[in-house]
Amino acid sequence: MKHLKIIFRTILLLSTLLPTTLEAKDNKEMNVEYFDSVEVSLLTCQPHDEIYSLYGHTALRWHDLHKGGGDIAFNWGVFNFDAPYFVARFVFGLTDYELGGYPYSLFQQEYRRFGSMVTEQMLNLTPQEKRNLWKALDDNLLPQNRIYRYNYFYNNCTTKARDIIERCIEGKVMYNEQENDGSSYREMVHEMTTDNPWARFGNDLLLGIKADMKTSRQEQEFLPNNLMHDFDHAQIYQDNGEYRPLVSERRTSVPAGIQMKSASFPLTPYIVGLLLLLTGVILFILEWNKKRAFLWWDLMLMTTTGIIGIVLFLMLFSQHPTVSLNLQFILLNPLPWFFMWSVMKGRDKRYWQITLGLAVLFLAGSMMQTYAEGIRSLAWCLLMQCYIHLRIIHRHQ
């Protein structure tokens, strides 16, 4: 974290100075021919162990080959993790990221330290298109423009790089649409979190039914690797009717290194769910034989459901469009908190009647939405408790 603070302060300083530098250069004799000796490339960074990097990263490199020219990395992923309420703002879709421009050598050093491979795709731009991009970056670096409202799926460091490149091109970028497999946002997130089951669990808990819908090629480019693949196969359709490849060369900017993986929780959500279900079955048998419910088990299930329910209730107010309609909220909601006292006193069966209906609807909803791993086990445990209470405890009430 300390290292990130240093990088963040450096980027802020350079971002403040760069617009002035770019404007000063632009006032010199920077005609179209000047940009013949400028290389522009898309940088695609592979994930490393930090949680924010699980999906990779995208940046642009501006390499001026003239004597004294700069070699700059333009990065739309600059944020201050220590900013007030950063995590809460991120969850609610209120996070502000910004564009930073800083020496490319510093960018390389960062990813060498993480052991992450960086792939560089040289963009096949004309001098005029490079000039257009220079002006666009200059404008984007202005204090009033460099900050933007971050959205993981729709407006992130990768989509910002793609959009500014497409805007500078004099022609139209043609992608190979036939390669789109129609994957959903959730499927793509699962692919990137294979080795991080608890990160996948958290995503699945918060993402709603919209995350299970099929996506277009353009929507899939929120992931750096997808954009890199699409750029490799893209063509620029020029005004004269001719085509040219968008990428002229692909090379490795930072080779893959050794990554130090921190130890994770030994049990996966799937195993925890199985243990929960096994515990529920054993207790159900004991309760059935003793003809009574275990209050501590009731309260544990209600507390777990209620705590998760508060989180999902708050997500209803998030600006992330893929979390607004979450069928898991049918079961995981704050309702238990309103019935906790009456359940403790053993004189209210309404909670179990309501929970029975909600649990059945919840399980039916799993045919339309992918639930977080292990959550269905919680539903089955609640159903078993509903049976104990409604058929045995409150049978004659």
Q: What is the pLDDT at residue 4?
A: 43
SS (H, E, C) 202-250: HHHHHCCHHHHCECCHHHHCCCHHHHHHHHHCCEEECCCCCEEECEEEE
Phi-psi region of 56 (alpha: psi -120 to 50; beta: other; left: phi over 0): left
Q: What is the pLDDT at residue 16?
A: 45
Q: What is the pLDDT at residue 8?
A: 46
Task: Indicate the DSSP class of residue 371.
Answer: P
Residues of the chain below pLDDT 50: 1-10, 12-13, 15-17, 19-21, 23-24, 27-28
Q: How confident is the model over 9-35, as pLDDT tens digits?
A: 445 445 444 544 454 455 445 688 889
Q: What is the pLDDT at residue 48?
A: 79
Q: What is the pLDDT at residue 3?
A: 40
Q: What is the pLDDT at residue 32?
A: 84
Q: HSE on the CB side for 95, CA within 13 Å?
A: 25
Does this model's pTM top 0.75? yes
Q: Are strands 71-78 and 57-64 parallel, antiparallel or unpaired?
A: antiparallel
Q: What is the pLDDT at residue 84?
A: 67
Q: What is the pLDDT at residue 20?
A: 44
Q: How confident is the model over 129-141, as pLDDT tens digits?
A: 999 999 999 999 9
